[in-house]
Structure 1
Amino acid sequence: MSKMKNLELKQISYQELLIEVQEVYELIHKLTNSYVEITSYVSTSLIPYLSFVCDGLDYFHAGTSKVHSSWYNDIEGNSVQELIKENRSALKLYSEYKRNKVIPKLEDDTVLFNELLFGNYNLIQKAYIKLFGQHDLGIYFFKEIDYANTYQLFKNIKTLYSDNKGIIGPVMKEFGIVLANYISKANIYPVSKTPNKIFSLTDNFTHQDVYFKDSKRFDAFNSTEDKYWLLFLYNYYCQNNFIRNIFPVVLGVRGNFYYRMKFCTYLLSIKGLDLLAKKVPKITEEYSDINELINARETIVPIKSDLRNNLFHYNVVNIPYEAFDGKGNFFKQMIEYSVMKSFEEFDNQIDQELNKYQKLISQILF
């Protein structure tokens, strides 16, 4: 491809990023105009997604006078750019590790998470925890759908927590403000005329400290290896529910950013399932659907497909410039060129596979 075509393709990539920046900016705008209770229920879950967009902006704005993470002061010794990259990677939920590294990482983070949970306990409470362990796991529900859990959310703040154990609240708030400010300054489009307030009822949201798996009194902090895998799967289960329910229903995110995140979390979920099948092969004997889901992924988005890279990064590669007509939806045109089918057909296929995945994980866990 000629240098001119590469430049034009990069311009299309950047234009698509700015379209998605607007979606996320409107999301933030809705949150700031809504009930504090609802904001508190979803704000921590949003940090990796905001970081995802900011990381894309960092890539395109490097070396320019446009807003960049280097505009912002370090947060308690952590550069904003590094925090953005760390929190963006939180979406992967350990799927970036090789199968022999996943359990040790889960173990290390669980120790930190457990420490956070009872960090403010008194001596008697800590003695009890030392004897009997920490059994509670906080789970967030929207209309009885579990869309987040405190372990998953801890992964979003782990980098900040490790160096700032005593002041994690203020540090998290500062980082969230920086992300919102970054996106606000990068947005070039006016707020649309759609409602700019969240209308979901606060009663739709609930939070409970419960045993992770009531039927078997599952202890999320037990060192038994297979229980770490259950928690590993549950994180994907919650993440999928967040993207498929909180984004479109509560936050009104139904554009390209919503589809990008849904497709990304599908690929991450199946990669995690593949890790599980290789690490704990006996589970595929009990749940044969695991191999079916993994094999289906290869027909939908092959592991070596350029589409995967183009979904996780805003710089589109290995697609001819002519695949974009300059008038339609660039994101949908990228999908259609890559999979050789209509966007609607591809989206329906992903939804069907995610439905199967969520049903399977529910069977394994509950």
Structure 2
Amino acid sequence: MAIEVTVRIEDWLRWRTPLLSSASSVADLAVTDETGRHPMPHSAYGKWKINSLGTRGPEPEPERSEARVLVLGASETFGLYEAPDHEYPRQLADSLHASGCEVDVLNAGFVGMSLPTVEQDLRLRLARLNPDVVVYYPTPPQYLDEALPRRFPIDASPPMTKARAWWYPRFAARARTQLKQMLPAAIADWIRARDIRQARASHDDQWVFDAVPSDRLQAFEMDLRVLVGTIHAVGSKAVLVTHVHRFLGQDRDERVLRSWERFYPRATGATILAFEEEAAEAVRRVAADSGLALADPWAAFARAESSEVFADFSHFTDLGASLMASELRHAAATAAGCSPKQEP
């Protein structure tokens, strides 16, 4: 009891998380309603604050803005490891404002959002925000999961979206996280390898993707084209972004790659990297076919020191988020109809 009280007081002092809040993880910020699954307006956990529109960040100021830019994606967009206000959509907003581009940038990403769920969220919920520009940053490896990504059922409420009583302990989640961080790298890697073996043991050899599955790649491209159609249908301009990761340059840290493989045990590490490359080509192809703006940060991240811009296999550090914002700046500004000043 004393430990739980201490954790709650610490959360209040550090993040102003209400003492009686039931949230104990980022997933607890989600709600399921008639529009699907998305962040709950006015919710908060730790450094993650959701505004009245159900997007991460401060309250928008439309009266001061010439255009509204909506940034869609999964956890890379929502932000995990960055310091508060340093996720790439927020840094993009700061960069545009500093250059004289008065645009309203809304971070509508959320953890676990697949491409079909993003399309559903835009069509059923976010369209009412009347975005002038929609930026989409995909997570292609989601198409290497056991089943293809699907829209989230709007009439279902899985356990992680059910309201918890305020007395649900936060200490347990905090302890699990800290114990994982304390594990020696070799032991953590052994646990990941074991988990991968166990996941594959209950299936035959054909279950594992040892090469890029063409049907999964085709599904990704088809779903991306559907999203582009929805963006146009709601009256917005689209900006597509190729997905970057830690292994674009010379980094071949097998332990980090294995941590990625653990999320998608149906694919080998080599298949994940090959799928990323093919998916990036698909993004470029869709942008070219539809005459869309494209932000392609692959070269910039390949030149960067991977350990400085990535906190894990694909999530950004503060510096990585800054680099992504820089790579998006021109495409977002042009689509929004403003010309930012050139940086010195």
TM-score of Structure 1 vs Structure 2, range by shorter chain: under 0.3
TM-score by length of 2: 0.27
- When normalised by structure 1's length, the TM-score is 0.26
Question: Which protein has the bigger helix share?
Answer: 1
